[in-house]
Amino acid sequence: MTSRNSKNSKKIPKNLKDDSKQMGKTWGRDKDIHPVTVLLSLLILLCCPLLVLAFWISCTHYSCSLYEPLHIFQINGISKETFNSVVIKNLPQFTWEGLKIYGIWLSFQAVLYAILPAKIGYGQRTPAGHILPYKVNGLLAWFITHVLFLTGAFYFKWWNASIIHDQWGTLFIAANIYGYFLSFFSYIKAYVMPSHPEDRKFSGSFIYDLLMGIEMNPRFGKYWDFKLFHNGRPGIVAWTLIDLSFAFAQYNQIGYVTNSMVLLNILHAIYVLDFFYFEDWYLRTIDIAHDHFGFYLAWGDTVWLPWMYTVQSHYLVRNPIDLSTNYFLAVLTIGLSGYYIFRAVNNQKDLMRRTDGKSKIWGKPAQFVRTRFTTSDGKEHSSILLTSGYWGISRHFNYVGDLLISLAECLTCGFGHLLPYFYIIYMFILLLHRIYRDDARCRGKYGKYWDEYCNIVKWKLIPYVF
């Protein structure tokens, strides 16, 4: 299996040259979007970077308190002077050193992605009918990166293990420079050198296209995939590396690493290692299979993910917490239960799709709806929608697992502040939005078969609740 239609990939099919033919909901992306959607997109483009900045300032200068800076405004009133002293004076600073470190880190990850031995995995069929090959070598890259980071810090003494924590502000600026560059580069690339022109979607709105992306699978050459690389490497490899560096920073500050920090590192490491161990499975999830590559993923993977998904470790450095054994075990149990659900549900779907439904679920033959769908090249294909096992409980029971893991990660921080709980609130909104997004996309893709499936599996997330 290789990229289908690859010979024609530089030609735009006639029916897509006139994008007025992309009527209504298509797979994953809309045309003629509502002005409210454009307005919301603009808000996301403006507010998300400000939110990350606000969190950075809060953690770096106010021990992760959201209340304290607001309280200063409350006492002194909203004035230019207060704004200068609370915000402007506290902004992260650009340094060439930060840019250099970030550049080396990113280039190193790009080289690992390109040269490490890889298994070739295949994504889901795209709306234009492509089945794309992907280099799957994230687990090896993760090990090499972490071993090198620790060896460089403790054996060669090239850097301090708390370097990421110590350079957190300058790295923030550097990552933003790259995140914005990547977003605009991807937007322009979609027009001037698209990888798979037939899989582009133009919404008619610059703002929406910049945010949600035009190209579905932008690539350099056959394998260098923007989505898989950026989500996996500057995003998810960084996740555990950042946690580790913040744990060392805590050690430097108080002389030991708290059990809350250890627990957080364990929970994040389980999730991250799972991601790379099952990287091939990830190729058929919504991120890779359906999302287009815009600011949402480009800036999201390079800035939002490394800064916001690790927010609990920023908190624990400033607010070291020793958990009681019972609390520790309770949080670990919630996290592991969440992980079990997350993995078991996702595995069931993956197994069923790989065997075309010819496997057993919970000891019984799988039940499913056999669907048909058409790609934009006019060809008809078949797929299955599982209706037994976890997938008979609700349409997104895998999200329940994710929410439990996220909750456990937040709970490692105790109940002193709101900021570490941002992550569970965010995950809840993200996954809820995904449920609606996915519903619209699947209805567009499968039509009456999706209705049939929804009639059998009535609940979206939690039976009898939602």
Pick from 196, 219, 349, 417 the residue near ligand NDP by CB under 6 A.
Answer: 349
CA–CA gap between residue 459 and residue 290 (Å, rounded): 22
Name the one range near ligand NDP by CB under 6 A: 29-37, 40-48, 143-151, 390-398. 390-398
Among 217, 402, 417, 460, binds ligand NDP (CB under 6 A): 402
**Which of 95, 285, 347, 367 forms a contact with ligand NDP (CB under 6 A)?**
285
In angstroms, the CA 280 to CA 285 distance is 10
Residue 184 CA: distances (Å) to CA of 158, 175, 215, 296: 35, 14, 12, 12
What are the beta bridge partners of residue 365?
Answer: 360
Does 438 help bind ligand NDP (rule: CB under 6 A)? Answer: yes
Cα–Cα dist 344/439, whole Å? 22
Tell me which residues in 111-140 interact with ligand NDP (CB under 6 A). Answer: 124
- Least Å distance, CB 399 to ligand NDP, is 5
Single out the segment in contact with ligand NDP by CB under 6 A; choices: 29-37, 151-159, 163-171, 285-293. Answer: 285-293
Distance CA 121, CA 385 (A): 22
442 lies in the site for ligand NDP, by CB under 6 A:
yes
Rule CB under 6 A: choose which of 385, 410, 419, 461 binds ligand NDP: 385
Eight-state DSSP code of residue 444: H
Distance CA 23, CA 242 (A): 44
Nearer to ligand NDP, 67 or 436 (CB): 436
Structure tokens at 129: 């009918």
> Which residues in the 286-315 window bind ligand NDP by CB under 6 A?
286-287
Nearer to ligand NDP, 385 or 424 (CB): 385
Residue 7 CB-density burial (10 A; 0-12 exposed, 13-18 middle, 19+ buried): exposed
353-382 footprint of ligand NDP as x/- string (CB under 6 A): ------------------------------
Q: Which stretch binds ligand NDP (CB under 6 A): 62-70, 77-85, 215-223, 281-289?
A: 281-289
Task: Say which residues have a Cβ less than 8 Å from residue 207's Cβ, sequence separation at least 6.
Answer: 38, 41, 42, 45
- Residues 431/403, Cβ–Cβ less than 8 Å: yes
3-state helix, strand, coil in the chain (%, to 5): 65, 5, 30
Q: Does 383 bind ligand NDP (CB under 6 A)?
A: yes
Residue 434 sits in the site that holds ligand NDP (CB under 6 A): yes
> For ligand NDP, which is the closer residue by CB, 254 or 430?
430
- Beta carbon nearer to ligand NDP, 190 or 405: 405
Rounded CA-CA distance 256/245 in Å is 13
Task: Identify residue 457 by its one-letter amino acid code.
Answer: V
How many Å separate Cα 355 from the centre of its chain? 28
Given the rule CB under 6 A, which of 50-58, 84-92, 211-219, 392-400 is the region that contacts ligand NDP? 392-400
Q: Is the distance from CB of 202 to CB of 40 less than 8 angstroms?
A: no
Q: Which of residues 164-183 bind ligand NDP (CB under 6 A)?
A: none
Q: Interface residues with ligand NDP (CB under 6 A)?
A: 124, 285-287, 342, 346, 349, 383, 385-386, 391, 395-396, 398-399, 402, 430, 434, 438, 442, 445
